[in-house]
Structure 1
Amino acid sequence: MNRTELRMALRTLPFLDAHRTVAERHVRLADDPPKLLLWDPETIEWLFASDSELDHPGSRSLRPLFGEHSLLWVDGPRHTAYRKVLGPPLRGRRLTTYAPLIAETVHDAVDALTVGQTVVLADWTRQVALRIIARLVLGDTDRRTEAVLDDFTSWIDDALGSRPRTLAHRFLRGGLPRSSADLDGRLVDWARSGSTREPATLASLLLNADGPLADLRDNDAELRDQLVSLLFAGHETTASAAAWTLYRLAVDESLRHDVLDELDATSDDVPTASAAPLLTAVISESLRLAPPVTVAENRRLRCPARLLGRTFPAGTTLTTSIYLAHRQDDAFPQPLRFDPSRFLGRKHPPSVYLPFGGGARRCLGSQLAMLELRLITASVLRRREWRCLNPAAGRLQLRGHAMAPSSRLRVRVTACRD
């Protein structure tokens, strides 16, 4: 790792902020082989359109955490097979079959919020999002499986909960810590025990898949990698986005009342995007300023390609900076200002607005995440009032690659509305 890569790893957000107005919209991180961080719209568009002709080497820092077989970086036919099995239930009409389960989980969490209670906002949204994805991936929870989730949370917190500790794991201890064999075994057992439940869990779909994934039934090691990847990717980023959305509404009374007026006009437990355009715009703007992750997946050239005004050789790694793409003045005037009106009545192309990545590697759970975000936000606003105790703590910080609010950010429940 050279000096530039080290600066980005150790001081990621200051490094990115320092390059926000760079005219070339890319920075070279390494030379041999070339490695670039880029946020040029034309190049992003080319990368997403050319995904089938590129390699996807994955994340060096997260690979020890999720394992070599993780669907987050598996490539070729295996990746296609995973998306074919997991994609359909996470979008469109099939996703609506999970809506009652998601709503039940959210309402249980809101029920537990009592007047006078002080809540660490990011911790609360992580707990809610983890229980949602656990039920979708593994099945209903009970006392035994709640203990599994507690141990899963402790493991992730050890790896990512403290930025200094995360860096110490990476640079001094040989990489982020892998989950224990005991936790792995309990996750696999939970997945196998729920293989006949309805609606079908995501784990059961994997275990019952034919074709290229049929061997997963007898491969606990690969199954473990997929379970861990789905649980992490399905809750950590959604939780951060939910926390930022709730924070923005907590500190802007006028905006909060406008969203509540919009929600009062619909009785839907899970308001659709068309029924709640302002709420959806608030979520979208939160995702712009605090995207779920700072970068999209690494892409590597198989053949030489002419990009950014020059020809790059095969083996060049290209990484899209979502954070910097979302902060460009020509796409988003006054880009550091929170302004939901940017998303009212207009769409932004995926080359400039890409909170869930793009191309063949676009987040499988993007529609699920938006459904959860609308439901969590609507449920809290409709049923509780709370006050942010320390708005100044609403500063961006990294939790792994996710853009989480500070663990110091707290709200206090002041009233029940139901």
Structure 2
Amino acid sequence: MKKQTQLPNTLTTPSFIQKLQWIADPVKYMENAAQQYPDIFTARVVGFGDTIVFVNHPQGIQEIFANDRKKFATVGEINKIMQPFLGDYSLLMLDGDHHKSQRQLLMPPFHGERIRAYGELINNLTKKVFSKLQKDLPFSARNVMQEISLLVILQAIFGLYEGERCQKLQHLLSLFLDAFRSPIISSIFFFSFLQKDLGAWSPWGNFLRQREQINELLYAEIAERREHPEKDRIDILSLLMSARDETGKPITDQQLRDELITLILAGYETTASAMAWGLYWIHHLPETREKLLQELDSLGDSPDSMSIFRLPYLTAVCNETLRICPVVMFSFPKIVQENVKILGYQLESGTAVVSSIYLTHHRKDLYPQPKQFKPERFLERQFSPYEFLPFGGGVRRCLGEALALFEMKLVLATILSRYQLALVDNQPERLQRRGFTLAPARGVKMMITGQRTDRESLMTMATTSAL
């Protein structure tokens, strides 16, 4: 790794202090750094080896994405932090031609036509979860969104609707992913010396045992599907099992396991947090809610899922939510493979670099009054993929982007059309580390104050409209 003097705008705070600040409050850490160096700076934070260069300017981000496979790789120390979760064969752990071929293999199940078939499923699961909530009793919007997100994963990705294995997976996955619940607990994934199996009572030991139980269930499901294949299934696991690479070989069991865990990790936490933030901003700003309801009502009594997905103001609300509260802080880290110049600075081979999603989304020159929630930004202009990048970019742009946006829009539309909700108090929410992501610190406390309509829900979709 390069000496600090060879890297751009190196922060002078002692390395250990930077690491503690990064774990405890990454948003404050990044904002303080950007006050000194708005476009690019070099940090010493845990999880990236020794040092890493943060790029916060669209031009620099474009230079990174444009040279994605030519001059950068995603290898070494950066991958180690995620390996205990993802395994060795996850798409996020691969590089070069291996990454390219595996991504091509995984893309078809996430095509727009495939995802459209999940519209009715998402709508029904949202209604099912909300039907269990009682009027005037506070609930955590984030917890409720997690339940919806997990059910969508179990049914759309795994094709599991009921039965003992489904119930066990739902329970274990909730516990497994709850390892991210606070910055302190998350620290075991950033410091290897804390990763000691001291028995089931220890954090790392508990994590390993939960992972093994989940693996057993996943491998049992895969084995059963291989023994009794059903050609008419449309869940993503079935589609992946039927996929073949350029040599005609199917995906191995371990590859399937690792990709399924990747989809869970990438889709469960992130989508739940994004939907909770959406509910927060919509109800924090009454005028936003009213505009959104008018747009939803304009579709009539039985809108199809794609009509909802294409609504311009709903799209703007979701985009602004992902801008002001990006769930992912930065795009996937890169390692410079050959000397490259970014924003006038020469970065030599071996240098680690990330595109900062959070800081780019909060640039005043791109988004005037960046701390204010203004969906109209996305109606007034088109932002480039280097200015607005909630799902990353380049060859590692999130594979599940279409499904995540589809789910977010349909869930929010279903809830708003059926229920009158209110925030429990006026205390503002703030971003807090939750593992590798950012989530609402207080969970968005809300309550149902009434039904929006006594008629059948405006969001009841015709079965054929989702096909």
TM over 0.5, shorter chain:
yes
Q: 1:279 aligns with which of 314, 320, 326?
A: 314
Alignment partner of 1:14: what SS? helix
Asked if 1:207 is matched to 2:227, the reply is: no
- The residue type paired with residue 290 of structure 2 is H
Q: Quote the residue 2:259 is aligned against.
A: 226
1:7, 1:410 → 2: CA distance? 27
Q: 1:80 to 1:48 in 2, by over 3 A?
A: same
Give me the whole-angstrom Cα distance separating, in 2, the residues matched to 1:400 and 1:346: 33
Deviation track 1:356-398 (CA, whole Å, cap 9, x = no partner) reads 1001100111111111111011000001111111331521111
CA distance in 2, matches of 1:232, 1:142: 22
> Whole-Å Cα distance in 1 between the matches of residues 373 and 239 of structure 2?
40
**Aligned-partner residue type, residue 11 of structure 1:** D
Residue 51 of structure 1 is matched in structure 2 by: 68
Report if aligned partners of 1:8, 1:15 keep a CA contact under 8 Å in 2: yes
- Higher alpha-carbon deviation: 207-216 or 42-51: 207-216
Asked if the contact 2:157/2:237 (under 8 Å) is kept, the reply is yes
Given that 1:86 and 1:202 are in contact with CA atoms closer than 8 Å, whether structure 2 keeps it comes out as no
Instruction: Map 1:75-154 to 2 at 5 A.
Output: 75-144=95-164, 145-154=166-175
Greater Cα offset, 399-408 or 173-182: 173-182
1:184 partner amino acid: N
The verdict on how the C-alpha distance between 1:293 and 1:32 changes in structure 2, with shifts beyond 3 A counting, is closer
Paired with 2:152 and 2:19, the residues of 1 have a C-alpha distance of 36
**What's the counterpart of residue 177 of structure 2?**
156
1: distance between equivalents of 2:328 and 2:213?
29
Displacement of 1:105: 2.0
One-letter amino acid of the structure 1 residue matched with residue 187 of structure 2: L
Q: State which drifts further: 267-276 or 13-22.
A: 267-276
Which amino acid counterpart does residue 207 of structure 1 have in structure 2?
M
1:188 partnered with 2:219? yes
**C-alpha separation between the residues in 2 aligned to 1:248 and 1:205?**
36
Aligned to 2:354: 319
Q: For structure 2, list consecutive stretches of 5 or more residues without a partner in the other structure.
A: 1-13, 197-203, 454-467
Distance in 1, Cα, partners of 2:443 & 2:307 = 32
Contact 1:116 1:414 in 2 (8 A): yes
Which whole-Å CA distance do the structure 2 matches of 1:162 and 1:275 have between them? Answer: 36
Q: CA deviation at 1:19?
A: 2.4
Shift of 1:205: 2.6
TM normalised by structure 2 equals 0.83
CA distance in 2, matches of 1:215, 1:257: 53
- Indicate if the aligned counterparts of 2:276 and 2:444 stay in contact, CA closer than 8 A: no
Alpha-carbon distance change, 230 to 214 in structure 1, aligned in 2, over 3 angstroms: farther
Aligned equivalent of 1:293: 328
Which residue in 2 is equivalent to 1:14?
A: 28
1:73 and 1:168, CA in 2 relative to 1: closer, same or farther beyond 3 A?
closer
Residue range with higher mean Cα deviation, 203-212 or 308-317: 203-212
> How many residues end up aligned between the 2 structures?
416
- Over the matched positions of the two proteins, sequence identity in percent amounts to 28
AA partner of residue 118 (structure 2): Y
Residue by residue, what CA displacement relative to the aligned partner does 1:302-332 show, whole Å, maximum 9, x if unpaired? 1111223232211111111100000101101
Q: Which stretch of the first structure deviates more once superposed, 338-347 or 51-60?
A: 51-60
Q: Give 1:28 shift.
A: 0.9
What does the per-residue CA deviation read over 1:3-55, in whole Å, with 9 as the maximum and x for residues that have no partner?
34443234312111112334451221259976211112111001111112121
Alignment of structure 1 residues 166-181 onto 2, 5 Å: 166-171=186-191, 172-174=193-195, 177-178=207-208, 179-181=210-212
Match of 1:416 among 451, 456, 459: 451
Answer with 1 or 2: which has the greater Rg.
2
